[in-house]
A and B are shown apart, each in its own frame.
Chain A
Amino acid sequence: MNTLFFRVAILGLAAGALFAQADRRGSLKVDLPKDSPISVLNADWGESSTAVRGGAMVLDLRTALTLRNSSTRRIRSITLLVQAQEVTPGGKASVSVPSLDVGPGETFPVKIDLRLLRPASNNGGPLVQVALDGVLFDDLGFYGVNKLNSRRVMTVWELEARRDRKFFKAVLEKSGPAGLKEEALRTMARQGERPMQGVQSVRGRSTNVEPERDLQLAFLKVPESPIEAIEGFAKVSANEVHAPRLEIRNRSERTVRYLEMGWILKDPRGSDFLAGTVPADLQLAPGATSTILQDTTLRVPERFAVGGMTGFVSSVEFQDGTFWIPSRAALADAQLGRAVAPSPEEQRLMQIYLKKGVNALVDELKKF
């Protein structure tokens, strides 16, 4: 009889394990359109797991998708839309892979490492849905629903990638591998100087109990920028910046429809870091001025007291669909070069140098 008990117990445990695996697999659904330029070749669920914490369920998804380029063009970037509508009614997410060079029929991996914390009740449907938001090709052509404005973001990444590859190739031509190595070391040193802080963005006023004060904003001058920042103010309380208000002027000869400004926060003790960006959709004719107002709160860790805020124009989209980004010459300015985040391509190239050496970096640059 004891043997029978053991058999029943082992069967029960095995059934439970199979159910848990099936539950994890059913937690994520990848949904691609029929005419999608990419297809899912394989999905590895790795060490995905679910656990109950009090009245909540924690789902850890460790997914590695292998995607194939089903189109006839080379893919430069891809953005996948990740939604968990039932979990966070107000939120969605994306996973992007920039700086790709995937030819027709070739494959590439995309990792989705996601943690959901949600009430323990479940209606049985998939928790997470993954869809294609957009694909950018080497001719800057785009495919996708573009719900996340991924076309604009991926185009800026690609333009930055071309700018940076051109810069490093020029260094290679002028100074050879030794000069490229020196430039790589300078670039990595600059990347290493950039401090990283946790930052939050909250719609409207946050739960701060400190009184607010008005702070006048400063701006870094970028001579070639089509947009000039005239003045700006924000409300500041301890470690929060609320409702920034900017007055800008279009000094180019083309209408501007999108602008993104980067913001550096400064502590009274002297430390500073790039905290975030203020993007704005607008219709700004040549010579016209406009005011940008965001009813949002930017919150940094409590140990950091906001003493100053400096902005700079990081990208502009014109009405005709073309873009402006700062040139490498502009980024040579020490203050701007330290403020502007390195492009994804610059970070990828430096990783190749770091892991494989200057010859691998030379080979990589010669591919383009």
Chain B
Amino acid sequence: MNANRHPSEIDLALYSGGDLAWAARVKTAAHVRGCADCKTRVAAYRADTRVASTVALTMPQSLDWDRLADEMTGNIRVGLAAGECVAPLVPKTQPSRFGFGRSWQQGLAYSAIAVVVMGAWWVNTPAAESSAIGRISRALWTQTPVAMLAEPGVTVEASPGGVLVKENGSSMALTSPGNRPVAVSVSLQGSARARYVDDDTGQMTITTVYVQ
């Protein structure tokens, strides 16, 4: 193989530690498999890594744990005392006139989280369940006597958007994109109906959904 096309030393070092990006790793592995020189270099890097790791994990023979703990405690106390000395010189964040405390960034972050949560709710929760939760919340808030809070079964609906049958979060809707019905109605026996008329041909289409 042409020496000019060998991977760079940096790439070989990163490859030996498994730190190359996916595409470069695949490319380098393909080269190393067919190149004795680079294979040797990679093996050397890996051997060095093992040695360095062993050295780093080995504690000095003369380490005095009690003395080390005393030094750390002392450093912490010095740090706290120094902090008390300079504290009055550090300007405090002025509370906003709305009284939200010292960090408007926190408020912004909480608002962003709230928007994300509400967006996820809006996207994933069926409208019927949101409506039911709203009604229950309103009843609890106003302490209205609750006549009955039965879970509705299959619901059929006719609206200017079309007809819909829904149950347990699943639904089937018959619509007519770009076309409003000329009449809608429901039957108390359990069906909903919408009529459409084709603008060009005048052909009528009537869609109906039924509760079985």
Enumerate chain A residues within 8 angstroms of B66, measured Cβ to Cβ.
Answer: none
Q: Is the CB of A198 within 8 A of B158?
A: yes
Question: Which of these, A88, A98, A116, A280, contacts B204 with CB under 8 Å?
Answer: A98
Point out the residue from B177, B184, B211 that lies within 8 Å of A198, measured CB to CB. Answer: B184
User: Any chain B CB within 8 A of the CB of A276?
Assistant: yes
Q: Which residues of A contact B146 (CB under 8 A)?
A: 209
**A93-B208, A116-B171 known; A279-B147 Cβ under 8 A:** no
Residue of B nearest to A118 (CB): B170
B88 adjacent to chain A (CB < 8 Å): no
Q: Mark A114-132, 1 if CB is under 8 A from B, else 0.
A: 1111110000000000000
- Are A279 and B189 CB-contacts (below 8 A) given A93-B172, A97-B204, A148-B210? yes
The answer to whether A244 and B165 have CB atoms under 8 Å apart is: no
Check A296–B172 contact: CB distance below 8 A: no
Number of A residues whose C-beta is below 8 Å from B?
77
Which chain B residues (114-133) contact chain A, with CB distance < 8 Å? 120, 123-124, 126, 132
List, in ascending order, chain A residues with CB within 8 A of B192's CB.
199-201
A window 86-139: CB within 8 A of B: 87-100, 108-119
Choose from B138, B182, B206 the contact partner of A209 (Cβ within 8 Å): B138
Q: Which of A187-213 contact B (CB under 8 A)?
A: 191, 194, 196-212
Q: Are A201 and B156 in contact (CB under 8 A)?
A: yes
Q: Cβ of A55 < 8 Å from any Cβ of B?
A: yes
Contact A209 B147 (CB under 8 A): yes
CB of B156 within 8 A of CB of A200, answer yes
> Known: A93-B172, A109-B203, A355-B200. Is A347-B163 also a contact (CB below 8 A)?
no
Contact A203 B147, beta carbon cutoff 8 Å: no
Cα A95 to Cα B165 in complex, Å, equals: 14
User: Looking at A191, A275, A280, which has the most chain B CB atoms within 10 Å of its CB?
Assistant: A275
Residues of B within 8 A of A5 (CB): 23
B170 touches A210 (CB 8 A): no
> In the assembly, what is the distance between CA of A119 and CA of B211, in Å?
20
Bitwise, B171-210 to A at CB < 8 A (1) or not (0) is 1111111000111111111111001011110111111111
Q: How many residue-residue contacts, CB under 8 A, span A and B?
A: 237
CA distance A212 to B124 in the complex (A): 33
Contact B144 A201 (CB under 8 A): no
User: Is A294 interfacial (CB-CB < 8 Å)?
Assistant: yes
Kindly identify which residue among A148, A207, A352 contacts B152, using a CB–CB cutoff of 8 Å.
A207
On whether the beta carbons of A209 and B144 are closer than 8 Å, the reply is yes
Of the four ranges (under 10, 10 to 19, 20 to 34, 35 or more), the interface on chain B belongs to 35 or more
Q: Is B149 an interface residue (CB 8 A)?
A: yes
B2 to chain A, nearest CB (A): 16
Is B83 among interface residues, defined by CB-CB distance under 8 A?
no
B99 within 8 A of A: no
Is A316 on the interface with B (CB-CB < 8 A)? no
Which of chain B's residues have a CB closer than 8 A to the CB of A202?
152-155
A294 to chain B: which residues have CB within 8 Å?
188-189
Complexed CA–CA distance, A1 and B23 (Å): 10
Interface centre among B136, B144, B169, B211 (most CB of A within 10 A): B211
Within the complex, the shortest CB–CB distance from B6 to chain A, in Å, comes to: 16
A207 adjacent to B145 (CB under 8 Å): no
- Which A289-334 residues have a C-beta within 8 angstroms of B? 294, 296, 298
Q: Contacting A94 at CB < 8 Å: which of B23, B161, B207?
A: B207
**Could you tell me the distance in whole angstroms from the C-beta of A80 to the nearest C-beta in chain B?**
10
Give the residue name and chain of the B residue nearest to A279 (CB): B189
- Counting CB contacts under 8 A, is B71 at the interface? no
**Shortest Cβ distance from residue B29 to the other chain A in the assembled complex, whole angstroms:** 12
Report B-chain residues with C-beta under 8 Å of the C-beta of A148: 208, 210
Q: Is the CB of B186 within 8 A of A201?
A: yes
Q: By the criterion CB–CB under 8 Å, are A194 and B183 in contact?
A: yes
**A203 lies within 8 A of B149 (CB):** no
**A97/B149 contact (C-beta < 8 A), A201-B155, A296-B190 known:** no
What residues on A are CB-neighbors of B161 within 8 Å? Answer: 198
Decide: A205 and B148 in contact? CB cutoff 8 A.
Answer: yes
Residues of B with C-beta under 8 A to A345: 204
> Which residues of the partner chain A approach B102 to less than 8 Å between Cβ atoms?
none
Contact yes or no, B147 A237, CB < 8 A: yes
A-B contacts besides A198-B157, A207-B152, 20 pairs, CB < 8 Å? A82-B172, A87-B172, A88-B166, A88-B172, A91-B154, A93-B207, A94-B208, A94-B209, A112-B174, A114-B175, A117-B169, A119-B170, A199-B184, A199-B192, A200-B156, A209-B149, A211-B145, A276-B186, A296-B190, A344-B195
- The 7 A-B pairs at the shortest CB distance, nearest first, are namely A198-B159, A54-B124, A91-B165, A90-B154, A351-B202, A276-B186, A209-B139
